[in-house]
Amino acid sequence: MRILIIGASKGIGLETTRQALAAGHHVRALARSATAIAVSNPSLEKMPGDALKPEDVEAALAGVGVVIQTLGVGLGELFRPVHLFSDATRVLIAAMNRQGVKRLICVTGFGAGDSRASISCLQRLPFQIVLGRAYDDKTLQETLIKESGLDWTIARPGVLTSGPRTGRYRILAEASQWRNGIISRANVAEFLVRQIGDGAFIRKTPVLIN
């Protein structure tokens, strides 16, 4: 199976690239700095490109069966209006529909969409001040995905750490269970790679925490 990972050069995307290769998938890794990915594997195609440019996304989708979107913005960008998530998702959905690619697995975060209501009273104000702009855009991104008609899964991790892959984390699928916590990028990547061949979380928005 050829997998396209959008945002593959760092963080969750890079971990997902490593784990998908280890699971035997062919990975096309899209990021502006894709050529700098320090992984060498005959099944890895490093594709430098911009998720906001339709021509880059169209080219990256050729022959792909599953798309994993793990885009992120830098700390400095959190204090300006954020449009990356929704803009890149509009481009992606249009391109997937044109090319007939149905499966989209996307990372947003705890606090996006209807999980915002599950943020504790204590965390609500700091969350709004620091992450409000980014998460407003992630909420729009989630709406676009839910309305896309694709076979989507939205993974909403809690606070990310750089810890190891342990396989020990919780998948909170029901709104009544949602709460914040921590989880390693490597464990989020494990969840994403498991979804490649598994439809159990299609049209679901699980929160992922330890």
Ligand X SMILES: NC(=O)c1ccc[n+]([C@@H]2O[C@H](COP(=O)([O-])OP(=O)(O)OC[C@H]3O[C@@H](n4cnc5c(N)ncnc54)[C@H](OP(=O)(O)O)[C@@H]3O)[C@@H](O)[C@H]2O)c1
Enumerate binding residues for ligand X (CB under 6 A). 7-13, 31-33, 50-52, 70-72, 84, 107, 109, 157, 159-160, 185
Cβ 53 to ligand X, closest distance in Å? Answer: 8
Q: Which is nearer to ligand X, 70 or 205 (CB)?
A: 70
Q: Which residues contact 5 (CB under 8 A, 6 or more apart)?
A: 13, 16, 17, 20, 27, 28, 29, 30, 67, 68, 70
Q: Which is nearer to ligand X, 25 or 135 (CB)?
A: 135
Q: Which is nearer to ligand X, 9 or 205 (CB)?
A: 9
Cβ 167 to ligand X, closest distance in Å? Answer: 18
Q: Which is nearer to ligand X, 13 or 113 (CB)?
A: 13
DSSP H helices in the chain: 11-22, 54-61, 84-99, 121-146, 185-195
Indicate the SS3 state at residue 58.
Answer: helix
Short-list 197, 99, 199, 111, CA closest to 153: 199
Quick check: 71 and 85 in contact, CB under 8 A? yes
Distance between CA 151 and CA 136 in Å, rounded?
Answer: 23
Cβ 88 to ligand X, closest distance in Å? Answer: 6
Distance between CA 24 and CA 117 in Å, rounded?
Answer: 39
Cβ 87 to ligand X, closest distance in Å? Answer: 9
Cβ 131 to ligand X, closest distance in Å? Answer: 8
Q: Which is nearer to ligand X, 43 or 161 (CB)?
A: 161
Beta strands 103-107; 66-69: pairing state = parallel
Residue with the shortest CB distance to ligand X: 11
